[in-house]
């Protein structure tokens, strides 16, 4: 079914419009989550940004309505949607606030997909279903202080001891780390095997030896709580390993990150859309040389270019999401989505800041927040450099 997606501006003539194949369910969901974000999330942004404290009530509120994890089946408490539905969710959240969007996005993907795809029935019942409903907050711990892009070299260890595993190590930059009820931890059970020796484990809050060593103070995405996590002789039940045998974690991670790279296309698009809307509004109001700056050709050219980029970002993200839903191998395309949208966003944000001039650099103008938030996107969940490596490999270069 062909539908038109409108992002209305204050006056007719400066609106983004595109044709795209959305199902009726996609369109209904888009309208519902947009309204929810406007009413329930937008009023919380200023306080969350100022305090660096995520409004936790959103997990339950969104879970109750099937918004939190819209891609999982209805019988598990999800929305029964597809990957495009998840992309719609992420775009709408990031139009409002990147930090809040990051925390909720982590719940919908990183902290739940390994459980959904590879978890046992018992793990799904204990962790996944409550997470989908917003009753438990999850996080995903891969990055370490000395290990980033080279995930196969992670230093966290998990040693089997009877009916338990004992975990030792430190994880860094973990979204939802300070507030999580459980964390999925990547650890090596056989360091000699590198990637083939990695497994994923579920560690619950309150487990002896597991602590949030510090909450991190970030330049942007301040309303998403991020932490360094430490595991010291942290003993967990052996049944908390995800998968039927050791050494399957690296493939589980790769699968999870592939999905997340598509989702990141929507995250970049949402932030770009927000920046565009703010810049159009400012350009109408700012008067120089006797007329609003939107009437100057240079400004209009930049805005036209921004609108073009956003249309392409959204279209390509949705296209690859559809491919993913149909079971097509999109390892190359997912990295292309992440690379293109994250890098293009930097151009859009640069244009937005330039049009705002000195006011854009003032904290009371919201465009600076999107600028700070969006800078992270070329780094997290696979740097742009890693995406180029993946794309080159898939092209046989």
Beta partners for 210?
231
Per-residue tokens: 220: 């942007």
Task: Give me the torsion for CA of 323, 329, 334, 336, rounded to 10°.
Answer: -100
- E strand or H helix at 202, and its extent? strand 198-204
Between 18 and 47, the higher pLDDT residue? 47
Q: How many CB atoms lie within 10 A of CB 329?
A: 11
How many Å apart are CA 223 and CA 218, to the nearest integer? 10
Q: What confidence tier does 20 reach under pLDDT thresholds 50, 70, 90? A: low
Query: DSSP label at 152?
Result: G
With a pLDDT cut of 70, the percent of the chain lying above it is 95
How many Å apart are CA 83 and CA 334, to the nearest integer? 12
3-state secondary structure of 123: helix
What is the architecture, at CATH level 2, of domain 2-132? Answer: Orthogonal Bundle (1.10)
With a pLDDT cut of 90, the percent of the chain lying above it is 92
pLDDT confidence of residue 148: 84
Map out the domains of the chain as residue ranges.
Answer: 2-132, 138-247, 251-394
How many Å apart are CA 153 and CA 49, to the nearest integer? 34
Query: With 0-12 CB in 10 A as exposed, 13-18 as middle and 19+ as buried, what is 166?
Result: middle
What is the architecture, at CATH level 2, of domain 138-247? Answer: Beta Barrel (2.40)
> In Å, how far from its chain's centre is CA 232?
29
Predicted TM-score (pTM) of the model is 0.91
pLDDT confidence of residue 150: 85
CATH class of 251-394: mainly alpha
Helix axes 297-325, 249-285, angle to 10 degrees: 150
Distances (CA, A) of 332 to 29, 87, 248, 354, 395: 28, 18, 22, 33, 8
Residue 2 has pLDDT above 50, yes or no: no
End-to-end CA separation in angstroms for the chain: 38
DSSP calls for 37-60: IIIIIGGGHHHHHHHT---THHHH
Per-residue tokens: 212: 């949030």
pLDDT confidence of residue 3: 37
* Catalytic pick among 50, 92, 381, 394: 381
Sign of the dihedral defined by the CA atoms of residues 112, 40, 365, 263, in that order? positive
**Is residue 375 within 8 Å of 219, Cβ to Cβ?**
yes
Q: How many CB atoms lie within 10 A of CB 364?
A: 6
3-state secondary structure of 266: helix
pLDDT confidence of residue 15: 36
Residues in the chain: 397
Backbone angles phi, psi at 48, to 5 degrees: -65, -40
Using alpha carbons, select from 46, 76, 39, 41 the residue that is nearest to residue 58.
41
381 is catalytic: yes
pLDDT, mean over the chain: 93
pLDDT confidence of residue 22: 80
Read off the pLDDT of residues 172-220 as tens digits, 9 standing for 90 and up: 999 999 999 999 999 999 999 999 999 999 999 999 999 999 999 999 9
How many Å apart are CA 5 and CA 15, to the nearest integer? 10
Read off the pLDDT of residues 314-332 as tens digits, 9 standing for 90 and up: 999 999 999 999 999 999 9
């Amino acid at each position: 079914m062909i539908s038109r997606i409108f992002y209305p501006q204050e006056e007719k003539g400066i609106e983004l419009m595109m044709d795209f194949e959305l199902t009726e369910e996609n369109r209904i969901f888009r309208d519902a989550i947009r309204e929810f974000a406007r009413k329930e999330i937008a009023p919380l942004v200023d306080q969350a940004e100022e305090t660096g404290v995520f409004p936790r009530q959103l997990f339950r509120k969104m879970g109750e309505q099937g918004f939190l994890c819209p891609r999982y089946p209805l019988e598990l408490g999800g929305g029964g949607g597809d990957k495009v539905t998840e992309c719609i969710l992420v775009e709408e959240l990031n139009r409002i606030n990147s930090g809040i969007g990051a925390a909720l996005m982590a719940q919908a993907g990183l902290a739940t997909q390994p459980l959904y795809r590879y978890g046992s029935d018992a793990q799904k019942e204990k962790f996944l279903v409550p997470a989908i409903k917003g009753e438990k907050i999850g996080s995903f711990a891969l990055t370490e202080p000395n290990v980033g892009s080279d995930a196969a070299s992670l230093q966290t260890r998990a040693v089997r001891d009877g009916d338990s595993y004992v975990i030792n190590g430190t994880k860094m930059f973990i979204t939802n780390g300070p507030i999580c009820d459980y964390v999925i931890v990547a650890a090596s059970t056989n360091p000699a095997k590198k990637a083939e020796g990695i497994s994923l484990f579920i560690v619950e809050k309150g487990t002896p030896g597991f602590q949030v060593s510090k909450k991190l103070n970030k330049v942007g995405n301040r309303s998403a709580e991020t932490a360094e996590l430490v595991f010291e002789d942290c003993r967990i039940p052996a049944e908390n390993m995800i998968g039927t045998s050791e050494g399957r974690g690296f493939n589980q991670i790769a699968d999870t990150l592939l999905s997340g790279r598509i989702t990141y296309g929507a995250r970049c698009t949402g932030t770009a859309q927000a920046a565009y809307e703010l810049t159009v509004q400012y350009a109408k109001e700012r008067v120089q040389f006797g007329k609003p700056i939107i009437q100057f050709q240079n400004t209009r050219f930049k805005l036209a270019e921004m609108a073009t980029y956003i249309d392409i970002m959204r279209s390509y993200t949705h296209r690859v999401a559809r491919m993913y839903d149909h079971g097509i191998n999109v390892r190359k395309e997912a990295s292309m989505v992440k690379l293109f949208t994250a890098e293009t966003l930097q151009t859009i944000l640069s244009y937005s800041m330039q049009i705002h001039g000195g006011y854009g650099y003032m904290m009371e103008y919201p465009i600076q927040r999107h600028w700070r938030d969006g800078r992270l996107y070329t780094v997290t969940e696979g740097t742009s450099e890693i995406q180029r490596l993946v794309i080159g490999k898939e092209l046989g270069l």
